[in-house]
A = this chain, B = another copy of it.
Amino acid sequence: MKDDTANQMRARRLGVLTQHELIALVHADCPVCRSEGMSAHSQVTVTHGDKSVIATLYQVTEDWLPVGSVGLTDQAWERLDLEDGALVRITHAPPLASLSFVRQRIFDDGLTDDQIRAVVSDIVRGAYSDIHLTAFVTATAAKPLATREVISLTRAMIDTGERIDWGVTPVADKHCVGGLPANRTTPIVVSIVAANGLLIPKTSSRAITSPAGTADTMETLTRVDLNRDELRRVIEKEGGCFIWGDAVDFSPADTAIIRVERALNFDSAGSMVASVLSKKIAAGATHVVIDIPVGPTAKIRNRGQARDLADLFRTVALTFDLKLRIEVTDGSQPIGRGIGPALEARDVRAVLSRSPDAPQDLRDKSLSLAGAVLELTGKVPEGEGIARAAETLDSGRAWEKFLAICKAQGGIFDPPVAKYQRPVNATRSGRVAAIDNHRLARVAKLAGAPDDKAAGLDLHVRIGDTVRQGTPLYTLHTESIGELSYVLDYVKSNPDIIELTR
């Protein structure tokens, strides 16, 4: 501990891909760890030069890992920027002072600005294990964050991430709170808005609870893991982009929190507002349109919930001087046909390229949101947004802009097509009375989306359609027989996902 040569060990790349957790393996007989009193499952700091990470230490008793070596998982390896055989230093991770604030949040009061900042800082430096992170996320879901806590969380997330200043105003952005499968309006809105000369540095997430996020979808069409310099180049050239937010690291705390929410398949209003607005502000946005789909099986179930969420968005936005427009939209059924990254990408392309079989609902909703952005930023007068958006789309200028952005991001690809396709047919004739968004999303996820880009489903009906017995309601797309049989089991035990009345 006294000098830099103590506790040095030779680093070895294990080639183990973990989704997130950084793991360090050392031999149980390792004198460095013995003298420091480190035991299985200690949190340790691994340092190389001026870089360091906090990792969970596991002990190895077999000799495939020699005494004096430390095996590191890939994420740790990359964050330390190591080469094989490099010397690293292992020390106790510093105590986690902010954990008392997590306990306070569970048992007693809300947290102050400073306390939330301490928690977020510790999350960002990787000091929270899954257990610590989950306790914070669950506590703020079970006992919802107060408005002032949401503001503190938003500020802490902005301050612990990277921020871009474009030096101009307006800078537009849009966001959907989610909960509706498909509904892939973002690439269309961005193309229309950018084609009108506005800046819209849109970053998107991967799926949290859904079968695809915009980043998952766009990844089947172009490169999305651009860094901040590349983001800047694309925006300066084309005005718009569709990139994966995590790669630009606007809010590393949010990335960690979302990973936990994904495993639990929920997100709560307070953390969602902080997550969304912190990333918009970090990306330099000044004018943001928020889409809140409302429906009985959407994330937001009724108008009252939508109003509360909208109020929270507005209050927090006001604090940070962000202009906001909330669009409460129909969330009774999916928007578009494909559900899953590649299938949604196909719909997006169909609308933009004015294909005759493009889904009309996706076109209409995208025009409405693009119109809202054009009006909010003052690009067109109130009431003229949709017309201008339609004109941009119909003239082919949005399609050209889309292709230009893809090219600037690294080229345009063809989305993959799944190996196995299997229709799910109506077991009787009738009229479609309701579609369960939640369980339909589950079907697409069981089929393999979003990890398998081509997986998901194609929805063939909308509410109000009449179907005959034996005609397909939707078609499953999977990449493996295993997953196909897995999802068919679920489909069989859930025959009412698409509800038919006589």
- Would you call B18 and A482 a contact (CB within 8 A)? no
- Would you call A17 and B28 a contact (CB within 8 A)? yes
- Would you call A264 and B481 a contact (CB within 8 A)? no
Distance in Å from the Cβ of A339 to the closest Cβ of chain B? 17
Contacts of A139 in B (CB 8 A): 138, 142
- Would you call B58 and A16 a contact (CB within 8 A)? yes
Which residues between 224 and 275 of chain A lie within 8 Å of chain B, taking CB atoms? Answer: 260, 263-266, 268
Distance in Å from the Cβ of A204 to the closest Cβ of chain B? 21
Chain B: which residue is nearest A74 at the CB level?
Answer: B61
- Would you call A15 and B263 a contact (CB within 8 A)? no
Q: Does A319 sit at the interface, judged by CB under 8 A? A: no
Chain B: which residue is nearest A134 at the CB level?
Answer: B134
Q: Does A355 sit at the interface, judged by CB under 8 A? A: no
Copies of the protein in its oligomer = 2
Chain B: which residue is nearest A28 at the CB level?
Answer: B17
Given contacts A131-B260, A264-B132, A265-B99, contact A17 B58 (CB under 8 A): yes
Contacts of A9 in B (CB 8 A): none
Q: Does A102 sit at the interface, judged by CB under 8 A? A: yes
Which of A37-45, A153-161, A175-183 lies at the binding interface?
A37-45
- Would you call A138 and B143 a contact (CB within 8 A)? no
- Would you call A482 and B62 a contact (CB within 8 A)? no
Given contacts A13-B62, A260-B131, A263-B132, contact A480 B37 (CB under 8 A): yes
Jot down 6 A-B pairs with beta carbons below 8 A, ordered by A.
A14-B60, A17-B61, A35-B480, A99-B265, A106-B141, A142-B142
Supply 18 further A-B pairs (C-beta < 8 A) apart from A37-B452, A103-B264, A132-B264: A1-B485, A16-B25, A17-B58, A17-B59, A17-B60, A34-B480, A36-B482, A37-B483, A39-B451, A92-B482, A95-B490, A105-B142, A106-B141, A129-B263, A130-B130, A131-B133, A134-B134, A143-B143
**A-B pairs with the 3 shortest C-beta distances?**
A15-B62, A134-B134, A19-B41
